[in-house]
Amino acid sequence: MEQVSFVDYHIQYAKALAEMWNRSASGWMGRAFNSSEEKVLDEEGRGSYLNLYLAVKGNKVLGYAKLTKYSEEKDVAYIELISVDPEHHGTGIGKILMQKCVLRAAELGYQRIDLFTWAGNTKAVPLYKKCGFFWEKMESQATHLMNFIPGLLNNELLKPYFEFFHWYDDNKRPLLTEPDGRKVNGFDLYDYIWEKDGKRLHICFERCGRGIVAINTSDFDIQIEIADAKPVFGDSYSANYQLTNHTCEPVEIMLKGADDDVVRNEFHISETVTGSIERESEFFIAPVNRTLTEWESCPGLKTIVSWAGKEIVMKTGLHIQYPLSVNLRMQSSLVIPGRQDIMYLNVHNHFPTACSYHIELPGEAPLTLLQNNFEISLQADEKAFIPVDYISQGSLVYNPQIKVMAFPDSGNKLEFEVECFTTMSALNSMSAKNMQERISLLNGQYSVYILKTSNKNWGGFHSIFGSRFDFCAPQIGLPYSEEFDTELPYDIQIEEHGSMLQLTLKYLSKDNAGVDFGYIYSLYPTGLMELRLKIYAIPEPQNKYFAYLKLGINEKNISFEQNGSLVQVEEDFPETYLNSFAKDSLSGNWMYSQIDDATSAVIWNPEFMPKLGNYWLCWELDLNKIQSMEHQELLVASMYLDIFRNCYQTRNAALGYRKPVEIIQPTLELVVNEGNPILTKPYQVKLIQHLDRGLRGKFKLDTEDGLSLAPQVTASEADNIREVRWDVENLPEQALELVTCDAALSSVSVKRSQLCLMGRGEVNVFNRDKLLIAENGCLSITSAKDARLPGLISLKYNGAEYLDAGYPDYAPKSYHNPYQGGLSIIPNQLRASVLIHETHDTSSIKVQDQFGNLWTGLAITTTISNFEPMKGLIFRQCFVMHPSVPVLVLLTELVRNNGWAQFVGFNCSTSYKHEENIRDLQLMFPKTDKQWLTLFPGKEQMGLQDYYYNMAAKGMDTDAYMQVFHLSRCSHYVHMDSAMVRETFTFYNQISDLGRSWLQPHFILFSEYLYEHESLSALLSLKFTEV
């Protein structure tokens, strides 16, 4: 039987490694990795790591462990990822991979190795603990584990003991799936215990300082105790040293204190020990300049211990407190200049006794504090807040140095300063500050920040109303270095340029020696931020250098161009992120996102295309190419918050011109009859997955009445199919068929529908006296050849009239004189009183869509010869039908403009049949929650104006709804009173359409069933040409 071997990663294993990831879902709580050889080559070739181990058996990869540097702390190793094929859990592969990482960290000289996991990882946590990891109990509730064995294995005092004890086999400890540690005097202590042949080794670490506080062996004991884990600075404290020699021979020892940041330890003794000794020392804590986070190693009492000439460093970490900690919280996210408002100064007394405080809060222009001196008394460990009234005349990054005098009940008066910060955003003003922990820029309601402590060089571009972008620390390579996760820029510049704030961060790489570059952030008050990359120096131009830039956008409802088509993530498709798509999916140079009413958009240089990564847009930027550009600078991306309202606007801005709207493709798309909505023969239906993962689930194809069209299809992960196909043999009897796919996916059920049309017979166009009539078997439309106002005077469905027309006399009605009524498409600058003096011609027309389907109806051509502002304009309004289908297409042709390049707005107005003072009609408009707003015209006058994709009308004497659909949202206006009900929507031409051109079609559909806009995508995508 073939044995498992453990090897370093090589590109030859990429395909097998991808297959392992794709088999690993059950080991990762159902996570679908959707890996590939290409993805593995890209991910592992791009990143930097210390070692990458694989467990290999034959041509299969069964395990993976990546060892890197830890970004949160220097000189700490980190297991970035470890995984074993679920079919081989419990075979010891994970143990060996973990042991290799621990031993490699020791070999490289690291004192510690860390990892993250999830709290419910019941299989792995016991293994991690057996290998020496301790699970921290953290306020952030992260599942972070630390392992101190690498440093122990290298220590000269302990090495002889690890020649006897095996660090893994002899390790004795509880392996519970819960945080570790025991509490002593407020310290969290972790205990290593090794036992073998009656001998025992105990080493105790303290969590906060990551140092040893006790060692117990068969030869000696050393223990250091401190009474208070959270001392206040500015005072001296005592420590107790306990040493025991268990041998019969005297031993020379030395205890030498060492300063550790603000902890001053001058203790120093040298003695010969026989038996036990106990010594007291005193250390002093100087003022700190900031409060450390739980992610950082705290300073502490550090002591170099020499036992029989062999040294070890012991350290008790101290969570050093300000006597009084403070922070500021704003009541209002937006400051109104000159208006009194309130903020809150939160305070926390850290003295072990009650204390009175005098607090002086400084003002700073444009901020005026109505009171800046405060007195407060607090009990031990008490929290409280102080309301602070203020008036600000503009934006401010407020970073006060607060002066505090403390009067503890026991102890001396203490004076100190403590820093905090908050931001005050006001429209049309700016502020910026380089602070100790971050850099902040405010411009109007928008802000940019860069962190300088935890998560160094990470940052964001935010709006106070919720929209945002996120930035990662710079990375230079290849492979890419993570040095700037811990190294700050060597130069920080903040400049004002008119209404724009600019932040320049300059970085000098050590891992790629001499590469000198900068990130430039330009923040405007409009919600625009530009990000540039500038090259200052590349020492060896013959070497290729790249920057890896990652930009985070809200992934809710993202839209972008994929292979030339607009794609948007649907609301019913959760757990769909950037990495759900193929990394090379982007074909346009923009992306748009919207969550609630907060919008985000980004536009980038099309010559430097990003890829889709895990949560990020990822650029690999050629620094040599940028160095050859003018000013050695590249505008990487322009980010917009709350500026664009849809993906069409974003695309137009990216292209630099206005492009006609088109159907937005969902990520799970139902395609019937190759997109042709007219059925003429047996057809094929496809359910297409546009995400970079296979379809999994059960798929059923039905009609709206529940009639099955084809057998159910089941697809599994192993099938790895991206589309499901059905061949439908039977054509529908009725004119409208809603083909519906119910997709029961692995974690959600969704429905996709497409409306199809079944045409039979022909459209007849004929004259009746002065009328020109077109009928298709269910629809009838009429126009008068002698009409003085252009449009339809009759629209009937199955014999029921829907229009109220003023023809032939156009007598005054409601507010209108003349009253046209009917259905018309007229430029919005022309009123009936003008049109009645122009020339109109009515004729028949035939048009053909892109699939060759023929549509026939009426065309009315209007020539403007008398109205001077629009003189020379010629337009046609066309109304066409397909045989026996209850769909009327509204087409508008701009035959000739009036000579100017301009937008021409058209109003499509429908006057509905309505008996005066009778509630005999209802108008319906869709709301966002798929409910309908319903209006009932009657005696009262009322109006409505809003943007809609569709609407519907229904008379009381008919069961069918007259439904109007648009490809994109149109402005709708409704006026109704006791005499008239008129509904109008507005649309425009393209300003670039200077010659003869067709405008976007609109559609009227009659049915007893109310259809959703999404189910008409095939119909709405039709384009027409005259034949």
Q: DSSP labels for 404-447?
A: EEEEESSS--EEEEEE--EEEB-TT-EEEEE-SSEEEEEETTEE
Whole-number Å distance between alpha carbons of 861 and 864: 10
Within-domain flag for 366: yes
Q: Do residues 648 and 702 both lie within one domain?
A: no
What tens digit of pLDDT does each residue of 564-605 get? Answer: 899 999 988 877 889 889 889 999 999 999 988 899 999 999
pLDDT score of 991: 56
Q: From its phi and psi, is residue 248 left (phi > 0), alpha (psi between -120 and 50) or beta? A: alpha
Q: Is-contact 754 1018, C-beta < 8 A?
A: yes
**Looking at 142-151, 940-949, 1000-1009, which range is the least confident one?**
940-949
What tens digit of pLDDT does each residue of 411-449 get? Answer: 789 999 999 999 999 998 999 999 999 999 999 999 999
Q: Do residues 997 and 914 both lie within one domain?
A: yes
pLDDT score of 917: 64
For residue 643, the domain's CATH number is: 2.70.98
Q: Do residues 916 and 822 both lie within one domain?
A: yes
Longest dimension (CA), the chain: 130
Instruction: Give all strands of the β-sheet with 559-562 in edge-to-edge order.
Output: 491-497, 500-508, 516-523, 528-537, 633-641, 598-604, 590-595, 559-562, 565-568, 665-666
Quickly state the pLDDT bin for 997 (edges 50, 70, 90).
confident
Q: Do residues 609 and 703 both lie within one domain?
A: no
Q: Do residues 743 and 777 both lie within one domain?
A: no
Please identify, among 370, 394, 424, the residue that sits at the C-terminal boundary of a domain. 424
Q: Which two three-digit tokens encode residue 432?
A: 């910026």
pLDDT score of 295: 86
Within-domain flag for 684: yes
Within-domain flag for 819: yes
Quickly state the pLDDT bin for 539 (edges 50, 70, 90).
confident
Within-domain flag for 237: no
Within-domain flag for 221: no
Checking if the pLDDT of 606 tops 80, the result is: yes
Q: Do residues 935 and 786 both lie within one domain?
A: yes
Element (H, E) at 391: strand 383-392
Whole-number Å distance between alpha carbons of 223 and 576: 54
**Looking at 111-115, 121-125, 764-768, 777-781, which range is the least confident one?**
121-125
What tens digit of pLDDT does each residue of 611-628 get? Answer: 998 889 999 999 999 999
- Cα distances from 786 to residues 89, 724, 771, 860, 901, in angstroms, run 86, 55, 8, 11, 32
pLDDT score of 928: 77
Q: Do residues 836 and 747 both lie within one domain?
A: no
What tens digit of pLDDT does each residue of 246-305 get? Answer: 999 999 999 999 999 999 999 999 999 999 999 999 999 999 888 888 888 999 999 999
Average model confidence (pLDDT) across the chain: 93
Please identify, among 703, 730, 758, the residue that sits at the C-terminal boundary of a domain. 758
Q: Which of 819, 816, 795, 799 is nearest to 808 (CA)?
A: 819
Q: Do residues 880 and 831 both lie within one domain?
A: yes
Those residues whose C-beta lies under 8 Å from the C-beta of residue 685, and which sit 6 or more positions away, are 670, 671, 672, 673, 701, 709, 710, 725, 726, 727, 728, 739, 741
Q: Is-contact 188 207, C-beta < 8 A?
A: yes
Q: Is-contact 187 207, C-beta < 8 A?
A: yes
Checking if the pLDDT of 667 tops 70, the result is: yes
What tens digit of pLDDT does each residue of 185-222 get? Answer: 999 999 999 999 999 999 999 999 999 999 999 999 99
Q: What percent of the chain has pLDDT over 70?
A: 98
pLDDT score of 929: 72
650-679 b/e (C-beta count within 10 Å ≥ 16 → b): bbbbbeeebeebbbbbbbbbbbbbebbbbb
- Cα distances from 984 to residues 488, 575, 781, 1019, in angstroms, run 60, 40, 19, 22
Within-domain flag for 293: no
Q: Do residues 479 and 565 both lie within one domain?
A: yes
pLDDT score of 294: 86
For residue 801, the domain's CATH number is: 2.70.98.60
Checking if the pLDDT of 543 tops 90, the result is: no
Within-domain flag for 688: yes
For residue 694, the domain's CATH number is: 2.60.40
pLDDT score of 548: 95
Please identify, among 739, 758, 777, the residue that sits at the C-terminal boundary of a domain. 758
Within-domain flag for 263: no
Q: Which of 701, 714, 775, 773 is nearest to 742 (CA)?
A: 701
Helices within 73-123 (DSSP H only): 93-107
Range of the domain at 354: 324-424
What tens digit of pLDDT does each residue of 373-401 get? Answer: 999 999 999 999 999 999 999 999 999 99
Element (H, E) at 187: strand 187-196
Q: Which of 94, 20, 31, 109 is nearest to 59 (CA)?
A: 20
User: Mean of the pLDDT values across residues 764-793?
Assistant: 97
Those residues whose C-beta lies under 8 Å from the C-beta of residue 580, and which sit 6 or more positions away, are 667, 691, 692, 693
pLDDT score of 957: 82
Checking if the pLDDT of 234 tops 50, the result is: yes
Q: Do residues 418 and 493 both lie within one domain?
A: no
What tens digit of pLDDT does each residue of 851-890 get? Answer: 999 999 999 999 999 999 889 889 999 999 999 999 999 9
DSSP lists the bridge partners of residue 678 as: 757
Whole-number Å distance between alpha carbons of 67 and 106: 12
For residue 330, the domain's CATH number is: 2.60.40.10
Q: What share of the chain is helix, strand, coil (3-state, %, to 5)?
A: 10, 50, 40
Whole-number Å distance between alpha carbons of 638 and 170: 58
Q: Tell me the one-letter amino acid at 764.
A: N
What tens digit of pLDDT does each residue of 35-60 get? Answer: 888 889 988 888 889 999 999 999 99
The domain tally of the chain equals: 4
Q: Do residues 617 and 699 both lie within one domain?
A: no
pLDDT score of 774: 98
Whole-number Å distance between alpha carbons of 213 and 70: 24
Checking if the pLDDT of 1 tops 90, the result is: no
Q: Is-contact 448 464, C-beta < 8 A?
A: no
Q: Do residues 743 and 789 both lie within one domain?
A: no
Whole-number Å distance between alpha carbons of 741 and 751: 6
What tens digit of pLDDT does each residue of 930-987 get? Answer: 789 999 887 788 889 999 999 999 988 888 999 999 999 999 999 998 889 999 999 9
